[in-house]
Amino acid sequence: MDNLKKLKEISSELSVLYVEDEENIAQTLITYLSKFFNEVIYAKNGEDGLALYKEDSFDIVITDIKMPKMNGLDMSEKIKEINPNQNIIIVSAYSEIDNFQRSIKLGIDGYIIKPIDYMSLNKTLFKTVSKIKALKDNIEYEEKLQKLLVQLKIDNDQLKQFTDVIDKVAIVSRTDLKGVITYANDFFCDISGYKKEELIGQTHNIVRHPDMSKSVYQELWKDIQAGKTWEGTIKNKTKADEAYFVHAVIIPLLDIDNNIKEYIGIRFLTTNEEIEKRNFKKKVMTNYMEFKKTNINAIEMISSLNKELEQVKNEYSSYKNRVSKIESKYKKAVNQIEFYENGSKDKDTQYHKVLEMQKLNMQKISESHKKSLQLIDKQNHQINKLKEENALKTKEVIKINEKLNEQANIIIDLRDTIKNIDEDKVTE
């Protein structure tokens, strides 16, 4: 159920080209696919399907194999020539080994056997649309990343321009987390009287004036270590022990994980000749801060996009592993089919031998049966003759009996006559 919801969410904006020559099957599947996909376009053979594909682009192509004019595998091969990354699913009633092997070579995303098992179809569709989503997300993230990199370059170029301006009008230095100077600009060297190699590796205590209260620096470190920007006036001293005042802004610089990696200090001289430039310097400082913030935000966004891109790549890698497993299963299925086909051929040979023997036996039985029928006919003929002869003899017996009966009657009459004669003689 969850996969069906995800399938509907992912596929709601996708299009399908469905190619099938049997319209009854096509109508049923079109109705089902329309529940998930934004558009389902139908073609009744491979030739029409290829023509539609050349006119428009489709996220998924679903096709039968055996069709008039052009079969589904030939159409798929031509589509792959146009777009090697096209997602194609085969739906067919035939499971010949040659079709499986050719489908694997073409990089077909799924093979569904008719009659359609909709659970199997849903799984294949979900895997395919998930792959499409991963690829589209990957392209989208790369485009966003490219735009951000371009914008970051523009911002960095502008930031460099402002940095160059600040370097000319302000004292700039950078320190590590312990306050050790790692960078000093030329203006810092000019004002302090130290060379760069004398400043780098030292703390700012090298220019700290003894008149400055410790509490000022304690407050400064408390703020910047908490990630806040500190701003105030500081009295420093040169290498020649001459005092000079600066309006300082100390900024914590963060890495992509929002941890403080170093501090940058920007200081403007507050001598009389510099006071009239303060407004300009403040504007420069404000612009610098805005660009620095933009730079940090861009870095954070790039980091976030990189993480998302890595996640997409991992998902895509996982999908490739699943595809590899499916291909391995296909190969095993191919080997099993070859084994079964070889076994089937052996059985067919044995069956044909048995069938030939049975045919010979049947021929012998048939010949014996014919002979038996001929013998029965002969015997029936003889029986019929015997019956006829018996009927004739029966008639003759009847005639003889009739004659015997007539003779018996005559004898009886003679006896009666003789008896009467004798009685007459006695009376006389």
Identify which has the larger pLDDT, 88 or 5: 88
C-alpha to C-alpha distance for 357 and 365, rounded to whole angstroms: 12
Q: Can you give the residue ranges of every domain in the chain?
A: 2-116, 170-276
% of the chain surpassing 90 pLDDT: 30
pLDDT in tens, 165-206: 777 788 999 999 999 999 999 989 999 999 999 999 999 999
- 289: burial class by Cβ within 10 Å (0-12, 13-18, 19+)? middle
Residues near 192 by Cβ (< 8 Å), separated by ≥ 6? 171, 199, 206, 207, 236, 238, 239
pLDDT band at 1 (very low <50, low <70, confident <90, very high): very low
| pLDDT score of 261 more than 90 | yes
276 pLDDT exceeds 60? no
Structure tokens at 328: 């391995």
170-276 placed in CATH 3.50.50.60: no
CATH code linked to domain 2-116: 3.40.50.2300
Q: How much is the pLDDT for 165?
A: 74
Please determine, for residue 283, whether its predicted confidence score (pLDDT) is greater than 90: no
- Cα–Cα distance, 194 to 43 (Å, whole number): 83
pTM of the complete model:
0.46
Question: What is the average pLDDT across 134-162?
Answer: 82
* pLDDT tops 60 at residue 19: yes
pLDDT at residue 415 greater than cutoff 70:
yes
Span 326-364, pLDDT tens digits = 667 666 666 666 655 666 666 667 767 767 777 777 777
Average pLDDT of the chain, as a whole number = 81
